[in-house]
């Protein structure tokens, strides 16, 4: 038996050797080697995983430790001021309130803030508080009493008496974006109401405060729900995973990306506390679309959907913001209110079921009607203004800084006037093209163009600027970048140079006459012979008539007499900075200037000889609230107030009786001074007009200069009229008041002599002190001739005998 057993064992040994080809001692060594290999492989895999995790950790730390968000800088408008005398209908008060997120509440008018009630001749508004570097306002309740549509008085309630004016908060004008058009308003967690946090927890991550970044219970529950539904009905991602996905990862759906998301979520939870993670999430989450711009974060969403700060959201509003996280565009209340309300109510139900809100709060929020703010898409017509503002900012605020640092820039723009200016320009050009179809070109780059710029003469604030008819087609700003021939709008500078005393006797007064007869000047290019537009000559004409009819010959002769340098110096002092050629034709507007320069020059006249600095912003404020930059308002007296008033009075005559008299025919009443301007061959058409409160310049022409074929009174002036009719109405407030030392007396119109009681013809005229006429008209038989000086030349005053000699 033993032998047989031994043989069997031997045979078994042979069989083993035959099967494996190796002895058993080698097999044991192989197993030991395999174990070591597995351990080595495990070590290598562990090491590689550790390296990978460390790499991901560095990515996480770099993002959280650095600047988490690149926030575009916002540009805000000037506050809208409500005051007695304002036409609430023309000012678009209702639409302004709606754009700012105020809700009309005719049935249950009571706090909270941000509501108004318009009832007949009374408007009550719960004004919200707002921050502003110089004009911050508290929350308050005011009542506006109307006479027709005009605000008659304003009272602060309850029982605090009348107030002179109340400002509304600034509107968003636009923002400076980088490559990603994302807009967000960063908020701190302590600014977010608890019910908004609870709403987000209820619908997105109930166990956020318990899990470690991934929630296995939620993943399993979502998986079972999806199996039962036969589709992806629920997601298993936590808030931390959603934040990681938005911060670091692409939207692709692969196992590798989900694994990476889970690892990074764990790293974030280990590295940072829940409060920091939640704050980042609330500032990052995508919540909708404003035109081409993405709305991110609950702070921006509160403004976008409800026109209010996140701290002021109601429970129902918080529930709606949480509700649309799942699909911001398809659930947007701006697109589908019914679907948004259903989703909002589901969130409220979850909050109630999870005991985050009580029965009373739940029922009240569920029954709260949905009221959303009007969509405030960034207006394309404000982009020209934004470009001007950016160029005015100091160099430290370059494009990169503006696109990432989240600055708040308080501008001078009046949103209503900006919209009105854009509509007036577009409508005016289209009307002209309808009258003259030959002006229409199929190439949008060759269309008739124009610009409108309006500013406050007392401050230099640019309240409206439209640099072209369509920013999308052409970003070239014709208000500030295009230099075009000034034409007749330059002529007032000649008369001002002649009216200024300049330390002695002025060349003319408003009672003087100027010579409209043929003459020529020798130049390096040969003789220059100015002509009037109608190629006629009128002999001696009063100064007022010469400007009102925009005669060329008298102003050219006057400029030649006083010297073209004197004219150029006046233009420089008023604010013209473009090159001014010292040639005789400068008197007729041969210089190329920008509309903004012209606005500044005429604003100096409207501001009694004090030159303002046109500016587009007032303050630059850091995200934390400190003022970084404040516009240094620069004013300089460049002309005595008396001369500025005489020039303004001359320009009033242009509107009352001259080339701009069409404005009176269009129904405009009140103080308006202005000047039309048409360059050679009707290539550049201008109208500049000003009231005591507003200077507005309009230019119309082609970018590649060619004839428009009409005078400025049929192209630029109608655009000005369209703008001002909506901006101020046809009845202009205020008056151009003469300085105290300006003398007003009656004169005989033809001779300029002082008119006494018996003079048969008279009109009032203004004079600087000491320049009043010495000749007196007492009646046809009672002339007394007086002469201040026997000196010959343009500086001496003309008497009645001079007039008789020249006439007969």
On the question of pLDDT at 10 being above 60, the answer is no
- Vertex 595: Cα angle to 589 and 599 (nearest 5): 95
Of 202-211, 528-537, 674-683, 720-729, where does mean pLDDT reach its minimum? 202-211
On the question of pLDDT at 647 being above 80, the answer is yes
Q: Looking up tokens 């401050």, which residue turns up?
A: 459
Give the length of the chain.
808
Strands 526-528 and 521-523: antiparallel
Of 665, 596, 669, 603, nearest in space to 636 by CA: 603
**Would you place residue 253 in the very low, low, confident or very high pLDDT band (cuts 50, 70, 90)?**
low
Q: What is the pLDDT of residues 439-468, one digit of tens each?
A: 999 999 999 999 999 999 999 999 999 999
Spatial neighbors of 476 by CB under 8 A, at least 6 apart, are 467, 468, 482, 703
3-state secondary structure of 699: strand
Element holding 126 (H helix, E strand) = strand 122-127
Of 77-81, 236-240, 304-308, 553-557, where does mean pLDDT reach its minimum? 236-240
In the predicted model, what is the mean pLDDT of the chain?
86
Q: Looking up tokens 């430290």, which residue turns up?
A: 396
Spatial neighbors of 515 by CB under 8 A, at least 6 apart, are 539, 540, 553, 554, 557
pLDDT, residue 788, reads 34
pLDDT, residue 680, reads 87
Spatial neighbors of 791 by CB under 8 A, at least 6 apart, are none
Of 489, 486, 485, 484, nearest in space to 550 by CA: 489
Mean pLDDT within 750-770: 90
What is the side-by-side strand order in the sheet with 754-755? 763-767, 743-747, 754-755, 776-777
Of 51-55, 430-434, 526-530, 779-783, where does mean pLDDT reach its minimum? 779-783
Q: Looking up tokens 């140079």, which residue turns up?
A: 497
**Would you place residue 373 in the very low, low, confident or very high pLDDT band (cuts 50, 70, 90)?**
confident
Backbone phi and psi for residue 784, each to the nearest 5 degrees, phi listed first: -115, 125
On the question of pLDDT at 238 being above 70, the answer is yes
Of 239-253, 411-425, 574-588, 690-704, where does mean pLDDT reach its minimum? 239-253
712 catalytic? Reply is no
Q: How many Å apart are CA 255 and CA 168, to the nearest integer? A: 53
Distances (CA, A) of 140 to 113, 166, 167, 644, 754: 8, 10, 11, 43, 59
**Would you place residue 363 in the very low, low, confident or very high pLDDT band (cuts 50, 70, 90)?**
very high
Count of other CB atoms within 10 angstroms of residue 385: 29
Q: How many Å apart are CA 403 and CA 178, to the nearest integer? A: 5
On the question of pLDDT at 224 being above 80, the answer is no
pLDDT, residue 88, reads 92
Taking a C-beta distance cutoff of 8 angstroms, is the pair 183, 293 a contact? Answer: yes
Q: At what angle do helices 564-574 and 491-499 cross, to 10 degrees?
A: 100
On the question of pLDDT at 247 being above 60, the answer is yes
Q: How many Å apart are CA 10 and CA 15, to the nearest integer? A: 8
- Is the bond preceding residue 423 a cis peptide, omega within 30 degrees? no
pLDDT, residue 732, reads 95
**Would you place residue 19 in the very low, low, confident or very high pLDDT band (cuts 50, 70, 90)?**
very low
For 459-493, give one letter per residue: b (16+ CB within 10 A) or e: bbbbbbbbbbbebeebebbbbbbbebbbbbbbbbb
Taking a C-beta distance cutoff of 8 angstroms, is the pair 325, 235 a contact? Answer: no
Tokens of 31: 């197993």
Count of other CB atoms within 10 angstroms of residue 176: 22
679 catalytic? Reply is no
Strands 182-184 and 449-455: unpaired
What does pTM read for this prediction?
0.84
3-state secondary structure of 627: strand
3-state secondary structure of 698: strand
- Is the bond preceding residue 112 a cis peptide, omega within 30 degrees? yes
**Would you place residue 233 in the very low, low, confident or very high pLDDT band (cuts 50, 70, 90)?**
very low
On the question of pLDDT at 152 being above 70, the answer is yes
pLDDT, residue 178, reads 78
Q: How many Å apart are CA 20 and CA 27, to the nearest integer? A: 9
Distances (CA, A) of 695 to 31, 606, 725: 96, 8, 14
On the question of pLDDT at 45 being above 70, the answer is no
3-state secondary structure of 311: helix
**Would you place residue 806 in the very low, low, confident or very high pLDDT band (cuts 50, 70, 90)?**
very low
pLDDT, residue 800, reads 39
Give the active site residue among 488, 550, 585, 712: 488
Spatial neighbors of 712 by CB under 8 A, at least 6 apart, are 487, 659, 676, 677, 678, 685, 686, 687, 700
On the question of pLDDT at 677 being above 90, the answer is yes
Q: What is the pLDDT of residues 598-644, one digit of tens each?
A: 999 999 999 999 999 999 999 999 988 888 988 877 899 999 999 99
On the question of pLDDT at 242 being above 80, the answer is yes
Q: What is the pLDDT of residues 532-570, one digit of tens each?
A: 999 999 999 999 999 999 999 999 999 999 999 999 999
Q: What is the pLDDT of residues 96-148, one digit of tens each?
A: 998 888 888 766 555 567 889 998 899 999 998 888 888 888 989 999 999 99
Of 491, 457, 466, nearest in space to 659 by CA: 491
On the question of pLDDT at 12 being above 50, the answer is no
**Would you place residue 229 in the very low, low, confident or very high pLDDT band (cuts 50, 70, 90)?**
low
pLDDT, residue 386, reads 95
Among 2-6, 111-115, 155-159, 446-450, top mean pLDDT goes to 446-450
pLDDT top residue among 549 and 235: 549
**Would you place residue 785 in the very low, low, confident or very high pLDDT band (cuts 50, 70, 90)?**
very low
pLDDT, residue 105, reads 77
Give the active site residue among 204, 378, 618, 652: 204
Q: How many Å apart are CA 684 and CA 708, to the nearest integer? A: 8
Strands of 631-694, DSSP E? 636-637, 673-678, 684-690
pLDDT, residue 24, reads 59
pLDDT, residue 624, reads 81
Among 378-392, 481-495, 745-759, top mean pLDDT goes to 481-495
On the question of pLDDT at 13 being above 50, the answer is no
């Amino acid at each position: 038996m033993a032998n047989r057993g031994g043989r069997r064992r031997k045979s078994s040994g042979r069989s083993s050797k035959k099967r494996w080809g190796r002895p058993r001692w080698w097999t044991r060594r192989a197993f030991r080697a395999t174990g070591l290999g597995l351990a080595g492989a495990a070590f290598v895999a562990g090491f590689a995983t550790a390296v990978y995790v460390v790499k991901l950790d560095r990515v996480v730390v770099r993002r959280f430790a650095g600047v988490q968000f690149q926030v575009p800088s916002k540009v805000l408008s000037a506050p809208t001021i409500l005051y007695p005398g304002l036409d609430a209908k023309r000012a678009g008060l209702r639409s302004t309130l709606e754009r700012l997120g105020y809700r009309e509440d005719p049935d249950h008018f009571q706090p909270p803030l941000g509501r108004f009630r318009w009832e007949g001749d009374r408007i009550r508004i719960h004004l919200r508080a707002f921050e502003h570097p110089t004009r911050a306002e508290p929350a308050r309740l005011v009542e506006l009493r109307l006479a027709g549509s005009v605000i008659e008085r304003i009272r602060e309630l309850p029982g605090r008496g009348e107030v002179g004016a109340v400002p509304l908060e600034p509107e968003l004008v636009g923002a400076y974006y980088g490559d990603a058009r994302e807009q967000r308003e960063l908020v701190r967690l302590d600014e977010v109401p608890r019910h908004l946090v609870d709403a987000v927890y209820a619908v997105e991550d109930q166990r956020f405060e318990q899990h470690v970044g991934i929630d296995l219970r939620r993943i399993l529950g979502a998986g079972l729900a999806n199996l039962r539904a036969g589709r992806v009905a629920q997601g298993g991602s936590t808030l931390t995973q959603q934040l990681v996905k938005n911060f670091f990862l692409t939207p692709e759906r692969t196992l590798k990306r989900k694994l990476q998301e889970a690892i990074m979520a764990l790293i974030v939870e280990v590295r940072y506390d829940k409060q920091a993670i939640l704050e980042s999430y609330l500032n990052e989450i995508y919540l909708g679309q404003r035109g081409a711009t993405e709305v991110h974060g609950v702070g921006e969403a509160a403004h976008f959907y409800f026109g209010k700060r996140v701290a002021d959201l109601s429970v129902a509003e918080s529930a709606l913001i949480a509700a649309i996280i799942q699909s911001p565009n398809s659930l947007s209340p701006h697109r589908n209110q019914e679907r948004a309300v259903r989703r909002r109510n589901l969130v409220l139900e979850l909050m109630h079921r999870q005991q985050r809100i009580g029965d009373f709060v739940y029922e009240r929020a569920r029954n709260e009607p949905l009221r959303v703010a009007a969509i405030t898409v960034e207006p394309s017509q404000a982009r020209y203004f934004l470009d001007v503002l950016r160029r005015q900012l100091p160099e430290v605020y370059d494009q990169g800084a503006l696109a990432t640092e989240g600055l708040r820039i308080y501008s001078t723009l009046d949103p209503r006037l900006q919209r009105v200016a854009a509509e007036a320009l577009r409508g005016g050009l289209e009307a002209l093209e309808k009258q003259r179809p030959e002006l229409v070109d199929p190439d949008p780059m060759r269309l008739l163009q124009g610009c409108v710029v309006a500013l406050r003469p007392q401050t230099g604030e640019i309240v409206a600027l439209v640099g072209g008819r369509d920013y999308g087609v052409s970003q070239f700003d014709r208000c500030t970048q295009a230099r075009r021939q000034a034409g007749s709008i330059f002529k007032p500078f000649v008369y001002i140079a002649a009216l200024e005393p300049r330390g002695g006797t002025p060349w003319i007064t408003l009672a003087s006459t100027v010579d409209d007869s043929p003459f020529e000047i020798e130049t390096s290019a040969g003789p220059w012979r100015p002509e009037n537009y109608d190629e006629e000559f009128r002999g001696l004409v009063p100064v007022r008539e010469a400007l009102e009819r925009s005669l060329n010959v008298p102003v050219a002769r006057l400029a030649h007499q006083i010297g073209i340098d004197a004219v150029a110096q006046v233009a420089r002092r008023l604010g013209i900075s473009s090159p001014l050629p010292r040639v005789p034709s400068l008197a007729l507007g041969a210089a190329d200037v920008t509309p903004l320069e012209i606005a500044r020059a005429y604003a100096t006249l409207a501001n009694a000889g004090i030159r303002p600095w046109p500016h587009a912003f007032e303050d630059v404020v850091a995200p934390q609230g400190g003022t970084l930059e404040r516009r240094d308002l620069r004013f300089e007296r460049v002309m005595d107030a008396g001369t500025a008033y005489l020039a303004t009075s001359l320009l009033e005559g242009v509107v009352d009786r001259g080339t701009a008299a069409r404005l009176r025919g269009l129904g405009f009443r009140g103080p308006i001074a202005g000047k039309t301007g048409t360059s050679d061959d009707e290539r550049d058409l201008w109208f500049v007009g000003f009231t005591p409160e507003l200077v507005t310049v309009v230019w119309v022409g082609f970018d590649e200069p060619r004839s428009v074929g009409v005078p400025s009174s049929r192209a630029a002036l109608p655009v000005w009229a369209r703008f001002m009719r909506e901006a101020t109405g046809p009845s202009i407030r205020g008056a151009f008041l003469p300085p105290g030392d300006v003398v007003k007396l009656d004169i005989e119109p033809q001779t300029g002599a002082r008119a006494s009681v018996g003079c048969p013809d008279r009109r009032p005229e203004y004079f600087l002190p000491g320049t009043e006429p010495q000749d007196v008209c007492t009646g046809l038989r009672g002339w007394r001739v007086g002469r201040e000086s026997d000196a010959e030349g343009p500086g001496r005053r003309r008497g009645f005998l001079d007039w008789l000699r020249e006439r007969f």
